[in-house]
Amino acid sequence: MFYFNLKEVKKKINKHPTHNTYIYICTYIYHSYCVGESIVNCNMSVIRRRLFGFCANGFYCKHTKFPALQKVRLFRTTNLETRKMAYTMTQTTWMATKDESREMMAVWPDVVRDLTNNGQNSDLSEVTKWLVKVLQYNVPEGKKNRALALVYAYRMLATPEQLTDDNIRLARILGWCIEVLQAFFLVIDDIQDKSLVRRNQPCWYLNNGIGLAAINDGLMLENAVYQLLEMHFKGKDCYIDLMEIFRKVTMKTLMGQNLDMLSTNYGKKPNLNLFTMDRYNSIVKYKTAYYSFVLPIKAAMYFVGIKDPEMHRQAQTILLEMGHFFQVQDDFLDCYGDPEVIGKSNCVDIQEGKCSWLIVVALQRATPEQRKILEECYGSNDPEKIRQVKRLYNDIGLPNTYSIYEEETYNLLNTHIQQISRGLPHDLFLKFLEKLYRRVS
């Protein structure tokens, strides 16, 4: 690692603007200086855009909390190493800090006790013990991004008077409501897709021969969400709004799941004629974007007391776009990601015949001969046919197409965030975008 001042780095970047093996990553502190200009009172988005220009491959700068430095670190690295480093840097910057994750986990035993207190159902002790197993296996082992997003949003949106220890704890419980809801979706989804691995462990329905009895476990998880909401938020002004947003988002997600299953012909040979970009966009919107992006932020807004319809509309518009970005990344990582990092096997979408971004773009670009290969091989368990599809993806140039898409979408979302005009803090959405950009899991 070498150190250069900003002017020296800019000269080097101008000299080698397309050098793929040199990635210039700017690390800046909030109380530092940017090209001689004070940034103490400067909007961070302005600094971010300014430093963006210093990066050879478009990689953006990240400010940290270390002592002030007027230097830029120059890393000589490969693109893969840079992705992993970017992911690590992002993980330690905002909502997924170790401290907040620990605080979330500190609340988890209380959540389990709330859901399994059998004082009113003393004759259901066996069921209570089983529910504990269901909860512990399926809920806390994920990255908890949705819960952490909600807590972060609450901290940003709440007034100083609202930022009490009790309210922060309630925000964490509300975050766990989303994680429990997600566990319900995943348990059912894995059964329908006949998936094998989830979060580096066997899917719940495959654990100790549970089988289709896991459907009932999923339904218990869904209802646990509303039990928590009733226990902790009943009587508060936000209670009805929270109940409604959880119910509406659950219904939208289930409809998205149904559209996904219809697209895969319920696990039979998929009809590739159905795999259009419009259909893909609808699946992503309903199956992923609402519960992963819209729900955490709108729930935080309701808990804070924000009910302005226009503020909710603007937030939802941006968050649905981010959800789409997230799912395209997921589709790419399913095929090209590191299985140990993403927590599941590669090319599951090819094997299951999913309507993914990669297959939709491939079908748009495929020659008649390539189309025949896809018709024959897509949706097959045969390892050789899976390899043929991936080779075709490479021949069509999908990795490069994805790289361009990711860069252009990041820039477009940045622009849309700057256009939010109804009092919502831009930094809230910029932080989400930073976490998504060039993620590896």
Active site residues: 143, 184, 189, 193, 198, 260, 287, 326, 330-331
Alpha carbon distance 217, 204 (integer Å): 9
- What dihedral do alpha carbons 93, 98, 99, 105 form, nearest 10°? 130
Residue type, 143: K
Cβ neighbours of residue 114 closer than 8 Å, sequence gap 6 or more: 227, 228, 231, 232
Is residue 76 a contact partner of residue 56, using CB atoms and an 8 Å limit?
A: no
Alpha carbon distance 13, 59 (integer Å): 13
Number of residues written out for the chain: 441
Cα angle 46, 52, 54 (rounded to 5 degrees) comes to: 125
Cα angle 176, 182, 185 (rounded to 5 degrees) comes to: 150
Q: How far is CA 231 from CA 173, 218, 225, in A?
A: 11, 20, 10
